């Protein structure tokens, strides 16, 4: 996707000043598109340049370390997006972070084949939850979260805050894309159990609300009233 000097610096491993000079040279040679909006400068690779660059990267012997830096950078950016979610107006937040959606997809596609990076893949998935939700990519969210949940045990993250977050979102996404399946309620109950043990009020409320909705949709009105009362 579109990127800035800081992002290119993080992925390339070059210092910001070196990165800015290199990007300026590429723009001068019409190998990069540039967009200037006040003090903000963003860049975008043309498709032919992207293909050429990927071929060069693949033959450089630095593909893995570069993609590792890319995945870590995307993870940091989206974790910051989560922090800023409650502090920004939704349209402003979307304009800043929406362009990272394809980077998230690319980073997860790479991490899927890297068993030593299970923990990073799980962090990336959790970091992307609000992005998928904001743009209503509910099925994509469910699929990626399901994959991350399957890696929790091998990554040593069973019972962690990551499992709590993933299971809560898995329950909701499953309910709204696959229907009123028992697996959805099971995921939410597991997330609620971790939230209770961790004293996480936010996720306790999220889980109870989703569980109450599931019970209402199933016609279990008395149980729903009790859950919502809690």
Per-residue 3-state assignment (H helix, E strand, C coil) for 179-214? CCCHHHHHHHHHHHHHHHHHCCHHHHHHHHHHHHHH
Number of other residues whose CB lies within 10 A of the CB of residue 114 = 14
| Token representation of residue 202 | 């936010």
CA-CA distance, 134 to 64, in Å (whole number)? 31
The reported pLDDT for the residue numbered 213 is 95
pLDDT, residue 117, reads: 82
Q: Which of 52-56, 60-64, 112-116 bottoms out in mean pLDDT, i.e. has the lowest?
A: 112-116
Q: How confident is the model at residue 138 (pLDDT cuts 50, 70, 90)?
A: very high
CA angle 122, 72, 156 (to 5 degrees): 30
Name the pLDDT band for 6 (thresholds 50, 70, 90): very high
CA 34 vs. chain centroid, Å, equals: 26
Q: Is the pLDDT of residue 167 over 90?
A: yes
pLDDT at 55 (0 to 100):
94
pLDDT at 88: 86
Copy the structure tokens of residue 76: 């940091």
Is the distance from CB of 68 to CB of 117 less than 8 angstroms?
A: yes
Who wins on pLDDT, 117 or 120?
120
In this predicted structure, what is the pLDDT of residue 115?
Answer: 73
Whether 116 shows a pLDDT value over 80: the answer reads no
């Amino acid at each position: 996707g579109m990127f800035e000097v800081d992002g290119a610096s993080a992925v390339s491993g070059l210092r910001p000043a070196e990165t800015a000079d290199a990007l300026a040279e590429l723009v001068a040679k019409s190998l990069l598109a540039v967009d200037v909006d006040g003090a903000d400068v963003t860049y975008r690779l043309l498709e032919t340049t992207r293909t050429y660059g990927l071929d060069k990267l693949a033959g450089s012997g630095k593909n893995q370390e570069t993609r590792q830096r890319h995945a870590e950078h995307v993870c940091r950016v989206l974790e910051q997006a989560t922090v800023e979610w409650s502090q920004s107006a939704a349209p402003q937040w979307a304009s800043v972070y929406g362009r990272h959606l394809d980077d998230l997809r690319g980073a997860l596609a790479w991490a899927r084949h890297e068993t030593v990076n299970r923990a990073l893949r799980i962090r990336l998935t959790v970091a992307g939850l609000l992005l998928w939700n904001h743009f209503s990519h509910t099925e994509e969210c469910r699929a990626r979260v399901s994959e991350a949940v399957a890696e929790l045990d091998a990554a040593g993250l069973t019972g962690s805050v990551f499992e709590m977050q993933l299971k809560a979102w898995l329950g909701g996404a499953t309910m709204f894309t696959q229907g009123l399946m028992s697996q959805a309620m099971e995921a939410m109950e597991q997330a609620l159990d971790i939230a209770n043990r961790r004293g996480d009020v936010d996720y306790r409320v999220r889980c109870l609300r989703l569980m109450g909705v599931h019970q209402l949709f199933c016609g279990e009105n008395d149980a729903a009233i009790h859950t919502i009362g809690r």
